[in-house]
Amino acid sequence: MNNKKIILLCLSLLTLFSCFDKKKFDGEAFVVVHSPNPSNINTSEFFPEPMCPYTWYYSTEIKNTSDRELKIIWFEGYGEDNGYWYGSNILNHTLRNDTFIKWYGDEKGNPAPEWIKPGETRKCNPNWHGDYNKKGHRAKWAYIAIDKFGNDYYSESIIETVPIK
């Protein structure tokens, strides 16, 4: 085998293997935004019967700000109490991709695609949290996403509440 063929073979192998070892996106791969924030919305047409005595409604949007497709593999709601965050959600179990694609689907109830392309968003509207006190509490939603190369990414956002009068 001559030198030219060896060099071409090495370059081909290097290119092939570099496809399987893509580096992690440098920066914030996705962002979480709640709206309105703080929430002063206490009724919902979607949920005519509130789940808690006092409830705050808002939308939660996930935007892929990376250069690759992302898949949410875990997410959780948290409530703050005396400076500590406690995990809590209506299903009382770990929230995974199957729940994410249902909750973040379209307005007609169709599930969202599993992978979020660069620049795309997924929206849960309405999202909500409740309390037994009119004052309410801060809530936080946290997410872990992966890319197709196995790199993982984390993002979270706090939603403030306006006390009910």
CATH number of the structural domain spanning residue 130: 2.60.40.10
Alpha carbon distance 23, 68 (integer Å) = 11
Total-model pTM: 0.84
**How many domains is the chain built from?**
1
Is residue 13 domain-resident? Answer: no
One digit per residue, pLDDT tens: the chain, 165 residues? 576 666 666 556 555 545 555 788 888 999 999 999 999 999 988 888 888 899 999 999 999 999 999 999 999 999 999 999 999 999 999 999 999 999 999 888 889 999 999 999 999 999 999 999 999 999 999 999 999 999 999 999 999 999 998
Alpha carbon distance 70, 64 (integer Å) = 7
Is residue 90 domain-resident? Answer: yes
Alpha carbon distance 58, 53 (integer Å) = 17
Is residue 7 domain-resident? Answer: no
Domain around 45:
28-159
Is residue 109 domain-resident? Answer: yes
AA letter at 138 = R
